[in-house]
Amino acid sequence: MKRSERPIGVFDSGLGGLTVFKELRAQLPGENLIYFGDTARVPYGTKSAEAVIAFSREITAFLLKKKIKLLVVACNTASSLALDAVRKVSPVPVLGVILPGVEAALAAAPAGGKVLVTGTTATVNSRAYSKALAATGARVRVLEKACPLFVPLVEEGWCSKPVASAVAREYLLPFRGKKIDAVILGCTHYPLLKKIISKVMGPRTRIVDSAHAAAARARLELAERGELNSGRKGKSQFIVSDAPEKFSILAFKLLGIRTGKVAVKRF
């Protein structure tokens, strides 16, 4: 197999990373994609850094056996806590979702503006976004808010239920009057709650989803390495660590993704 024909590996704690997968499929239609959702151990955001690093290394080793040419860590918690550890064991390039999200936020927020970072408890505690924003030298004020209940709401498929709106208001209503220019959805599950979050924050606030930016970065990486697949229609493979039927149902219900048969890999 030519290196360009090798698949791109993508992983997340559950089905949230499918927001990145969908963008990859849209921007790179000729690429073969392998998606792994760690549904047996979701959510990662309440786990220790040591656990997230261990899980990420396990999944990376598994995907590397699939002869991938690029690994996309489509999980903000893993990108925050385990990216360096994954890069140390990976012979192929590894992309996270933090930097693409930061770049998109800076494009949405003016100099001197305010950026609100939402994410899992682990992501917010890591201050990965604050550090990345500071490293750019951009003059923006950064606020952060952990929203741990968003992930289980998405994993249950409750994105449009009243409870999701109530939880979003509880977390975010205190920020509505603070003239927030951009909200970073610092978890790949959160774009599935984008409409609710936008409604709570109001029309002046831009909602930043890193999925589009992450997919664009993957395309650029492959182009620079001369590894873009020229095929017209790439294949998609989905693997989870538990509950494949539920994963398949929610993938179609929430994102319109037809997974076909979902394989199971338990660690």
Distances (CA, A) of 107 to 104, 180, 207: 5, 14, 11
With beta carbons less than 8 A apart as the criterion, state whether 123 and 186 touch. yes
With beta carbons less than 8 A apart as the criterion, state whether 104 and 171 touch. no
Q: Per the structure block, which two tokens stand in for 104?
A: 């998109």
Catalytic residue among 20, 63, 75, 92: 75
Catalytic residue among 124, 187, 215, 250: 187
Give pairs for 213-216: CB < 8 Å, separation 24+: 213/100, 213/101, 213/103, 213/104, 214/20, 214/23, 214/72, 214/74, 214/95, 214/96, 214/97, 214/100, 214/101, 215/20, 215/23, 215/24, 215/26, 215/27, 215/28, 216/27, 216/100
Among residues 47, 113, 92, 135, which one has the least CA distance to residue 221? 92
Q: Annotated catalytic, 147?
A: no
In whole angstroms, give the CA distance from residue 198 to residue 194.
6
Q: Annotated catalytic, 159?
A: no
With beta carbons less than 8 A apart as the criterion, state whether 47 and 65 touch. no
Q: Per the structure block, which two tokens stand in for 242?
A: 């538990």
Q: Per the structure block, which two tokens stand in for 210?
A: 């890193």
Q: Give catalytic residue positions.
A: 75, 187
